[in-house]
Structures are given as structure tokens and as C-alpha cells.
Structure 1
Amino acid sequence: MTNQTKTQQFKNLLLSDQLEFICEAHNGLSAKIVEEAGFKGIWGSGLTISAQFGVRDNNEASWTQVLDNLEFMSDATQIPILLDGDTGYGNFNNMQRLIRKLEQRHIAAVCIEDKLFPKTNSFLKGDAQPMADMDEFCGKIKAGKDAQTDDDFCIIARVEAFICGWGLAEALRRAEAYHQAGADGILIHSALAIPDEILAFKREWGNRSPVVIVPTKYYSTPTEIFRQSGFSMVIWANHLLRSAVTTMQKTAQTLMENQHLLAIEDRIAPVSEVFRLQGAAELQEAEKRYLPQNAENMAAIVLAASRGDELGELTEDKPKTMVPIQGMPILSHIVDAYNAVGVKNITVVRGYKKEAVTLPNLTYADNDDFASTGELDSLLKALRTKKGTFQDTIISYGDVLFNQYIPQTLFHAPEDFVISVDSQWEGRTSYSRLGGFAECTTPNSRKAFHSKVYLTKLGHDVTEGSIHGVWMGFLKVSSKACEQLQEILEHLLADPANRKAGMSELFQELLRRNHSIRVLYTVGHWLDINSLEDVVQAGEF
């Protein structure tokens, strides 16, 4: 962190011998995002601040409302803010009061433009907008400089001659007058889609004082042109708000059409990221309140010992779980999904080409007999690594991708044994390899949503009329039931006939012992990678 004040930081940027960049922000959150992106300064845009209030960029937001907003932005960040101060919100007297209030809030600089109050945005019929009297505007600059108590506070004079159609000669005449009045820099503005006007101004102006530009309209101009021309600072003036508008519109439309959160939840920032950006001291308490459980009480076991022969050459030198999807192994996507809901304690059972499975921060249990054993043998090996210290644990497969709400809902269910069942099973017979079809106490319906549903049968022999869905490959076992589960597995595997037993045999044994298995229905939002076509589809998951 620099020991310089914010005003010193900004003045150094303005006087830097290289081209500097600052980015728009319109509230405390966006200001923090700008700072974390690495920018050395923030543009407090009049357009975007007024827009986030839902009003026009015509001084409809009062200057005190703008100040209140700036205070949040300043408190949230350690880098300087240059305020887009419109016309100074009045005459020389208003300008002096503005400067004093900005300094109180540790705002580093203000930019004022030579138009009339109330201002109109420069891109709305700019050539029809009247300009301020030059001498009166010079008086406003002088009044502002006289009012400041910090010698490093900067006033940037924004010349609107090009915007209003007055041409280069008038732009230069006004810039020189403002420079003589004490302006620390000149912002030369243009509404053209090419940089001809601002480049012509800079050639004539030379290095009399720093020149700031806003290339919103001439955005296709290579930045190197600005650097070679000797400009001091580039302002990216409104792009955070505009990108946020696009995303919010899309999200709102999706919510309106779908009437549920499943389509958007994995595509937006988690609530925990908002907490982090807020710098909330109570973050740990908030995580306890809003996440399913304390992360210390959650674990996962991923069964990933098999090769995945169905993928052919893709698994010659690595198991299926390490096949890349969008540049990352399948296992990485699974781990990320668990991490997103607070599960850090993840045990992966390796087997085929186990030396290829080396992702960090995981616990590994090796099933060297993977070729002659089944899923239950792998699961028992994973449970034995816990050495009797059990947590609520989700057991899943190393080739099944899923949305993070699936483990969230499983952990929320208090029962000892809980599974996820996809009720949209028609046409998905290939998924039955995970353990078969499920017959439940109630089919998926509004009634099922308001009552608890339990498994009555799971396997490949469920008659079509009794199928209520397909098991998705997820089993949650409570911490107190994990020890029971281990004992059941040891009992089953003591019989050589069960050496290759899979999860469906486990469910049958649980039901035989009268253990209740809670069913949580869902529709989609998971993908069993069981073919080359699935690998392609996974890229769009």
C-alpha cells in the first residue's frame, strides 16, 4: 500500500511520463472492482452515477447526492478518484463549496466542463448545446484553486469546443485561457468515431500541460497512437455500467422466462464474493448463516478408479476423470463445484493410471485392484482413510458433472441417507449404468415437493410403469451413518460374490436393512460422461 495521499497519487498519474489509464466506477462496489483489477485511479462518471440512480445525465441527481455516493466509493478504495463534476454545479461560489466538500471526502481531483448548468450529456445533440462564457469559466477555475487546502488537489478543465461544433481554434483558445487560470490539466473531448480532432489539438497544444482524453466514440483507435502522441491519461468512461446493464437485462429476462434460479445461479457471482468485495468483517458468521453447513462438517468422496474404456484413445494414458473439458480435467470441474459450496475435504479413489491423477489439495485412496473389483471396494477404501473421523459426506462419480445446487440440497437434507433422482428419465436409458432406475414412494409432482419422498427400489429391473426417475450418482451419508456404512460394506465384501458389486447393490442392502433413503428430485443440470458425444456436450455444460 502506498504512503502517498490520494491527491499525491493522482497528481503523479497526471504528470507521469507514460500514458496512464483510469476506469469508470459508479458506486462503492464497482470502485472496489476497478481497484482490484489493477487500475491506479477511478473516474467518478457523471453519466454512470446518474444512471445507477435511474435518472438522466442532466444534473437531475443533486450535487449532494453525488457527494454521498462518492463518499462510499472513497471509503471502499485506496486509489484516487477523479470526479466528473459536470459544470461545477453552479457558479464560482458553488465551485468553492464543491472543492471543500470533495477534499473532506478524500476525492483527489475534479473535472469541470465549459457548458451551462444544468448540463446535458455531450453525446446528446452536442452541436446544439451552448458553451459557457470563457471568462466566467476561468473565474470558476480560479475560485476552485483558491478554495483548495491541499496543494496536490487537481482541477481538470474539460473543453467542449469540438462537441459543440466550434472547431480547433476555439478549443485551443479556451484551453489556453483555462491553463492560465490555473487548471492542472485539459480534457479534450470529441464525439467523432475517429481521433482526428483530439490528435490535431494535441499537435498544436504540445506539452503546455497534461492532456486527458475519453475515447468512448473513437474506441477502435489503437492505444499506441495515444501513447505516441503524448497524451497523459485515458479514461475508460462508462464501460463497467454498460457491461452490468447487459448482464442484468439477460439475467432478469431469464428469470422471467424460466421462473427459477437453476439456469443462472452457476453463472453469477456467489453471495460470498459480494461479501468479500464489501470487506465484511462478519464474513465467517455470514458463511455459517447462508452456506448449507460449516465447511468443517462437509466432505466428498469421488469414485474415479476406472479407465473409461468407452472413450477409446482418450483414456489410453489417463483415466476418464482426467480427460480435459474446456482445458481442465473432468475432476477439476467436479472439485471446483464442491469447493464452490464450501466442501474442501475431498477424497478421490484412484486406480487405472493413478499416477496421472495428481490434482493438488485432495486426499487420495488407491484401489490397485480396480480391474477385479467394483465401486463398493473403492468406497470402502476411501472410508478407511477417514480412520473413524467422519463428516457429512457426498459420494459421487469421477465422470459426472453437476451444478453446485445439487450438493447444496443434499447437505441441507437432515436424513442419514439421501440421493438425487432425475425425474426426466425418458430417453436417458444410458444413465442407468450409474445404478439403475428409481422407484419412489411418490413421483415428482407438486405433491412431492411438499412432502418427503423415499426410495423403494433401485436397479435395472424396475418395470417401466414404476420408474420415477434415474439415480444421478449422488449419495449423501450423514456423519453418524458413515460408520454404519463402513460396517455394511465390510459385511458385503466379505462375500467373494460381491467383489465387483456396485452402488445399486449397496442401496438394495440398505433397503433390506430397513434404512430410509430420502429422495430429492431434480430435472437435468448434470451430465454423465459416458461417450465421445458426451465429451463434446460437456464443453457446453
Structure 2
Amino acid sequence: MNLRQPLTKTRQFRTLLQSEQLEFICEAHNGLSAKIVEEAGFAGIWASGLSISAQFGVRDNNEASWTQVLEDLEFMSDATKVPILLDGDTGYGNFNNMQRLIRKLEQRNIAAVCIEDKLFPKTNSFLKGDAQPMADMQEFCGKIKAGKDAQTDPDFCIIARVEAFICGWGLTEALRRAEAYHQAGADGILIHSALSVPDEILAFKREWGSRSPVVIVPTKYYSTPTDVFRQHGFSMVIWANHMLRAAVATMQKTARALKESENLLSIEDKVAPVSEIFRLQNAAELLEAEERYLPRGAEGTLAVVLAASRGEELGELTADQPKTMVKVQGGPILSHIVDAYNAVGIKDILVVRGYKKEAVRLPNLTYVDNAEFAENGELASLSLALQSRKEHFQSTIISYGDVLFNKYIPQALCQESDDCVIFVDSNWQDQTSYARLGGFAECTLPNSRRAFNAKVHLKQLGSAIPPGSIHGVWMGFLKLSPNAAAMVDQLLLEILARPGNRKASIPQLLQELLKRDYPIRVLYTVGHWLDINSLDDVIQAGNF
């Protein structure tokens, strides 16, 4: 079955130009205003030279380069489905520039261009128009021919703008030039006038008849009833600069109100809500695309930082604060941990406090307090953290408040789909001091090329593994899927209920999981972390 293909933008514009009824297009000057014009119901857009230059903050004298105009047009074209007619000034140069312009417009899916018969660089028609020189008629005809020869889409339109009335030459010259441009291949004539009445353009249309479509821009003769244009058989009306002028008026009023009131209450109910900006930007489409194309990564991940202990090994540094608040590189250890999580998109960070909890008060964190930190251990702190999220378990990364790490660590953990994942540093010979985190690890494969493409799992964790079986040292990181977090929450209650387990650590949790044949995925690394366990480590952290 043949499905009807949608009309191209060039075909849409040609249909408008040749319509038997009066058609209207409206000015836009960037992607946002183009979207607004389209949503208002206009079937076409006028990319105004005045408005585009004004939104750049420069004069309408070709001060914005044609490549800057092209870049702006590309955003407008991408944002809309209706055709765009570019106000192409004089074509930005001679016939050669005109041909290159046409090729670049077609590449950006622009439907048509209007060029005016004045000299480059142009001056706006409403600024001393009668003193402006006109282009040589034959040279301008050559420019039109060159443009038509350059186009590859037969529906692309070139509109010739006649400035004879603007420059004070009168009806005879306007008709003479319009006929020459028509013969040169122009698809339509735009007849322009700076009078406040439509006399000149009506006189032109009566003499011109229906030789080709005639486009008008009633900016100056705005009080003329639109039915007059219908009765005289004009093809298209351009509302040429009103989107920009409306925006300027509103922005000026808003800026003055803000300066005078020094608060947002004076203007908040008079401006578009931020949600409307997001809608016009099509933010919802991006969210849907992220669901389709991006890995889940850190989205929805909770980071639990166990930071209840004092860290007596640091002596006087922890007399009035826990180890996690000891400063390295100008900031507390905890702030560096938070930065590493934030760098991969993890914003939901829960810190378990205990010793000198009032000293742990970084912003944008959630806190759970372990009041019995002196009598219990890591699993008790972890249990408190998971219990606080019992109603909504999520992917969780557990780490210590005294271990610095590069963002690579949480990033890699988030990308794994296994229920339970840990990190092991295979450079264990130089990490003997890190045995306090739970000892050494024996895995199903040592770190190697073979392990890189295989799923490696933990076999043993502890300090009693023979050197020949050691594959690395556990680094203090544990990632749990939502299901694993719920399971571990219940398992912690069982472990902590047993006599002698009040001070149990995470390695004991991992050993319990191994006893139950629960798979623990291993990711290998060499470095990317630093356990701060002594004053020397604090010094070393300055170079981490």
C-alpha cells in the first residue's frame, strides 16, 4: 500500500505562494520564536533580517555575517515543520555568493529566500530609504538567474523584493524592475512601501495584475483592513517584525519591574512558567530518548557512606570531629566523597553519623544517626541506613567515610546489572595495610585479559588466604540492586541478632552471602582509591 508522503517544506511554501486565497506568514528570529509562530497556527515563517540582527544585538546592516544567519536558521528549521522564507537582504554579495547561499539554505531545509535590489551592505528600508541607492537592474537579474541555476529542489522559491518605492523612484521604475526580475526567474515579487497608506502597493498590483504572485509587508500601513489586500488579489502578507517587538516590550517592562521591586512577586504571574519553556524546548522528548538510549547508570542510585566512627588513629585531628571531616586538599574527606558521587550523577547520598555528629553538616545530604556507634559496628550503621529506606529500596552503593576514590569507581559499579558487586584492587602486594578493610580476596579468576571479558566472582574474603591464592584486596565498595538491598536488609537483622555480632563489619556480611552461595560479582582495578588510615595517609591524600 502506498502511503502518502508529507509535503516537503519547499512544496509547502510554493503551495502557499500560489494559493488562490490570501496567505499569512509571521516573523521569527530564533528556534523558540519559530516554534511559537508554528504553534499559533501560521503555515509559514518569515526569518526577518531586522529581527535576526536585533536579537544578536547588532544593526540591520549586514553586521551579522551570513554564516551567523545560517546557524540561526538551522535552529529555526530544526524546531519547526512549516516552511521558512529567509529575508536574505541583497544575497550577501554578488551572483557567486548568491549561488553558495542557495546551496546552504537547501542543506538546512529552508524553503525560500527573498532578496532586495539594493547594494551590499544593505541598510534597513525604513532608515532614510529615499537616500539609498538601488542595485543595477541587470546585475540583480543575473543574481536571480544564478540562484535559480544553483537550486537542486525545483520547489525552492526566490522572491525578488522591489525597493523602487522605498528609494523614491515611483511606480514606473517599480514595474520595470518587477518585470525584469520576473523574466529572470523570480518565483514572486515582494513590493515594499514605507508609506502609512497602501496607495503605492495597490497601484502596483493594479498594473501588475496576475503575472506572478505578489507579496506585501504592511508594517507601515498597518491600519489598512486585511480585506483590502484580499480584494486586490495579493498572494501573501508578511507580519514582519512583531514577535521581536513584542518580546522587547515585555522584557523592558519586566526588567524595570525587577529593578524597582527587588523581588519576583511583582512579575512571576505575568511571565511564562518555566514548565512552558521546557515544553517549547521539547524536554519531554529528551526524557523519552534517555529511557531508550542511555544506560541506567547512576539514575536512582543511593550512596550510603558509613562515617560513624571517630578514627582514633589520627589522634588530635579527630578530637573534635570524626575522621570523615578531616580536611585534605582544602576540604573535608566527606566533601571529596560527595563530589566523586555527584560527578557521575549520584545526588541521593545518605551519611551515617555517630561520633561528634554535629560536626558532620555538609549541605544536600541525608543523615541517619547511629547513637550507639561506640558499642556497635558497620553492619549496625548499614542496617539503620537501609531501614530508613525500607519503603523504597533502590540500587545502593555502600562505601566508607574515610576512603577517597575517583569517579571511575561508582561509575563502573552503576553500569553493572548484577545484584551484588564489589571492587578488588589486584595490586595487593602494595596494599597490605588495607587488610583492615576486610582482608584479601580470592576470586574465580585473577586480574588478566581473560578476566576482562569474563564475569569474575568472589570465592573467599579474609586475612587467612594463602598468598598464592590472593587475587587482590577488597576496597570497601559494595553495590546492591534493589532486590539485593531488600534481601540484605533482612539478613542484617539476622546477623545482628546473633550474640557477639554487634560490632560486625561488611566483610562479615560478604562472608555470610558466600556461605549462602549468593553470587558476588568482582570488578578489578589497580588504584583509583585511597584508604585514609594514618597521618601519613592524610599527607598522601593531598596528592590523590
Q: Distance in 2 between matches of 1:9 and 1:91?
A: 28
Query: Structure 2 vs 1, CA of residues 282 and 229 (structure 1 numbering), >3 Å: closer, same or farther?
Result: closer
Match of 1:181 in 2: 184
- Asked if 1:100 corresponds to 2:103, the answer is yes
Match of 1:37 in 2: 40
Match of 1:88 in 2: 91
Match of 1:271 in 2: 274
Q: Distance in 2 between matches of 1:75 and 1:128?
A: 39
Q: Distance in 2 between matches of 1:12 and 1:196?
A: 28
Q: After the TM superposition, which residues 160-179 of structure 1 pair with which residues of structure 2 at under 5 Å, given as runs?
A: 160-179=163-182
Query: Structure 2 vs 1, CA of residues 180 and 73 (structure 1 numbering), >3 Å: closer, same or farther?
Result: same
Query: Structure 2 vs 1, CA of residues 81 and 282 (structure 1 numbering), >3 Å: closer, same or farther?
Result: closer
Query: Structure 2 vs 1, CA of residues 261 and 68 (structure 1 numbering), >3 Å: closer, same or farther?
Result: same
Match of 2:131 in 1: 128
- Asked if 1:256 corresponds to 2:259, the answer is yes
Letter in 1 for 2:189: I
TM-score (normalizing by structure 2): 0.52
Q: Distance in 1 between matches of 2:166 and 2:77?
A: 30
Note the aligned Cα RMSD (angstroms): 1.5
- Asked if 1:243 corresponds to 2:253, the answer is no
Measured after TM superposition, the shift of residue 266 of structure 1 is 1.1
Measured after TM superposition, the shift of residue 2 of structure 1 is 7.6
Q: After the TM superposition, which residues 306-385 of structure 1 pair with which residues of structure 2 at under 5 Å, given as runs?
A: none
Contact kept in structure 2, 1:215 and 1:236, CA below 8 Å: yes
Q: Distance in 2 between matches of 1:188 and 1:244?
A: 27
SS at match of 1:192: coil
Q: After the TM superposition, which residues 516-535 of structure 1 pair with which residues of structure 2 at under 5 Å, given as runs?
A: none
Q: Distance in 1 between matches of 2:225 and 2:258?
A: 39
Match of 2:203 in 1: 200
1:140 to 133, 143, 158: 143
2:157 to 154, 163, 168: 154
Contact kept in structure 2, 1:32 and 1:77, CA below 8 Å: yes
1:237-256 CA distance string (max 9 Å, x none): 00000000000000000000
SS at match of 1:158: strand
- Asked if 1:21 corresponds to 2:24, the answer is yes
Letter in 1 for 2:72: N
Gaps of 5+ in 1: 286-541
Q: Distance in 1 between matches of 2:18 and 2:177?
A: 21
Gaps of 5+ in 2: 289-544
Match of 1:229 in 2: 232
Q: After the TM superposition, which residues 495-514 of structure 1 pair with which residues of structure 2 at under 5 Å, given as runs?
A: none
SS at match of 1:220: coil
Measured after TM superposition, the shift of residue 8 of structure 1 is 0.1
SS at match of 1:100: helix
Q: Distance in 2 between matches of 1:38 and 1:267?
A: 23
SS at match of 1:281: helix
1:124-156 CA distance string (max 9 Å, x none): 000000000000000000000000000000000
Q: After the TM superposition, which residues 103-118 of structure 1 pair with which residues of structure 2 at under 5 Å, given as runs?
A: 103-118=106-121
Contact kept in structure 2, 1:276 and 1:283, CA below 8 Å: no
Q: After the TM superposition, which residues 448-463 of structure 1 pair with which residues of structure 2 at under 5 Å, given as runs?
A: none
Match of 1:57 in 2: 60
1:478-537 CA distance string (max 9 Å, x none): xxxxxxxxxxxxxxxxxxxxxxxxxxxxxxxxxxxxxxxxxxxxxxxxxxxxxxxxxxxx
Q: Percent identity?
A: 86
Match of 2:535 in 1: none
Q: Distance in 2 between matches of 1:60 and 1:94?
A: 16
Q: Distance in 2 between matches of 1:221 and 1:282?
A: 43
1:396-444 CA distance string (max 9 Å, x none): xxxxxxxxxxxxxxxxxxxxxxxxxxxxxxxxxxxxxxxxxxxxxxxxx
SS at match of 2:283: coil
Letter in 1 for 2:264: L
Contact kept in structure 2, 1:89 and 1:117, CA below 8 Å: yes
Measured after TM superposition, the shift of residue 112 of structure 1 is 0.0
Contact kept in structure 2, 1:185 and 1:210, CA below 8 Å: yes
Q: After the TM superposition, which residues 414-429 of structure 1 pair with which residues of structure 2 at under 5 Å, given as runs?
A: none
1:293-323 CA distance string (max 9 Å, x none): xxxxxxxxxxxxxxxxxxxxxxxxxxxxxxx
Please identify runs of 4+ aligned residues in structure 1 that moved more than 3 A. Answer: 281-285
Q: Distance in 1 between matches of 2:197 and 2:284?
A: 48
Contact kept in structure 2, 1:82 and 1:107, CA below 8 Å: yes
Measured after TM superposition, the shift of residue 281 of structure 1 is 3.2
Q: Distance in 1 between matches of 2:187 and 2:116?
A: 14
TM-score (normalizing by structure 1): 0.52
Letter in 1 for 2:275: S
Query: Structure 2 vs 1, CA of residues 284 and 265 (structure 1 numbering), >3 Å: closer, same or farther?
Result: farther
2:10 to 3, 7, 23: 7
SS at match of 1:235: strand
SS at match of 1:187: strand
1:224-266 CA distance string (max 9 Å, x none): 0000000000000000000000000000000000111011111
Measured after TM superposition, the shift of residue 282 of structure 1 is 6.3
The alignment covers a number of residue pairs equal to: 286
Measured after TM superposition, the shift of residue 283 of structure 1 is 7.1
Letter in 2 for 1:204: E
Match of 2:503 in 1: none
